[in-house]
Amino acid sequence: MTNDITTKQEILDSIAEGLFTIDKEFRINFINSAAEKITGFKKDEVIGQLCRKVFRCEINEIECPIAKVLEIDKNIFELKSKIKSKNNSEIPIKLNAAVLKNKSGEPVGGVISFRDISYDLDIESYLSKHTNFYGIVGHSKVMTDIFYLIQEIADTDVNILITGETGTGKEMIADAIQKTSRRKDKKFLKVNCGVLPPNLLASELFGHVKGAFTDAVKDRIGRFELCDGGTIFLDEITEMSLQMQTQLLRVIQNGTFEKVGDSESRKVDVRVIAATNANLSESIKTGKFREDLFYRLNVVPVELPPLRKRKEDIPFLGMHFIKKFNLIYKKNILNYVNHD
């Protein structure tokens, strides 16, 4: 048995990703060598400590990833966040989280793996500054018109609705809008409205009070309250239920909301950027989406074209990816062959 445990630890110590496990009390009971190297903490400094006290993960401002996995009953993959190292410096990471269960299927702890993406971000920053508009490659007229529009509205706080097919870059446009806005130094949070069921989405956006529902064991702050003064990006907005649309309309109109299970109104100042790949005219016609909410969001519409409608950008995209992968893999490829 001892040999088996030693072998498992050696395997976990051999992987490049940082990894640690926690018990039911959220106390660290294992940390691998890569996690030590990334964070600067040694095993004997963190074993038995609460994970949120040690790594101070940015997402813990809202909710522990393991607690989130338990709530939605789905593992978390490739979630961007930040942790604090031993010397108090911020480390950008991508993390995965899963619950550990015993043979009876009962939760006994959790496992989090993560990797340092500082180098990736350095590459993205370089490419953003030297090849494109805030990470978006586009030299066609339709794209340069969108870039010009983003710069034109930089000094305003108007709500924006981004539409376009899947894969056209709606989230990248939202990032560019936020980075050029006067709220660029404030909180910027993103919520995919199509991932969570209505009751959990309400809690995610507006928070809840203890006892609001079965699993509400403590008060929780919502995304709107957390990014007061900043910007929120609501992706797949048409997946939101009509009841949630009504609550969102109230926040946009009056800047007020109530936490789930609470009657006290709270006031916030949040800019909303929304996005959808759906046909909104059809959604309004069929009663799936509120027309008044559409007009509140569609103050500045941004319609993104698919690549097939801006083929003149393909050569620039090709060179962008050559530069990117040259940096990542330390190559010196200068061009590519067009087989048209």
**pLDDT tens sequence across 319-332:** 888 888 888 888 77
- What is the average pLDDT across 2-13? 70
pLDDT band at 124 (very low <50, low <70, confident <90, very high): low
The residues with which 79 forms a beta bridge, in sequence order, are 95
Is residue 81 within 8 Å of 93, Cβ to Cβ? yes
Quote the pLDDT of residue 333: 77
**How many helices (H) does the chain have, and how many strands (E)?**
14, 14
pLDDT band at 26 (very low <50, low <70, confident <90, very high): confident
Alpha carbon of residue 325 to chain centroid: 24
DSSP secondary structure code for residue 260 in this structure: B
Smallest Cα–Cα separation from 135: which of 182, 180, 187?
Answer: 180
The tens digit of pLDDT for each residue in 266-315 reads 999 999 999 999 999 999 999 999 999 999 999 999 999 999 999 988 88
Q: Which residues contact 11 (CB under 8 A, 6 or more apart)?
A: none
d(CA 33, CA 20) in angstroms, rounded, equals 10
d(CA 190, CA 200) in angstroms, rounded, equals 15
The residues with which 82 forms a beta bridge, in sequence order, are 92
Residue ranges and CATH numbers for the domains of the chain are 2-116 (3.30.450.20), 141-307 (3.40.50.300)
Pairing of strands 231-235, 76-84: unpaired
pLDDT at residue 202 tops 60: yes
Quote the pLDDT of residue 126: 59
Quote the pLDDT of residue 336: 67
Residue 285 identity (one-letter amino acid): K
pLDDT band at 77 (very low <50, low <70, confident <90, very high): confident
For 108-112, 183-187, 218-222, 317-321, which range has the lowest pLDDT when averaged over its residues? 317-321
| Token digits of residue 192 | 């995919």
Q: pTM score > 0.75 for this model?
A: no
Residue 68 backbone dihedrals phi, psi, to 5 degrees: -65, -40
Smallest Cα–Cα separation from 230: which of 194, 259, 273, 166?
Answer: 273
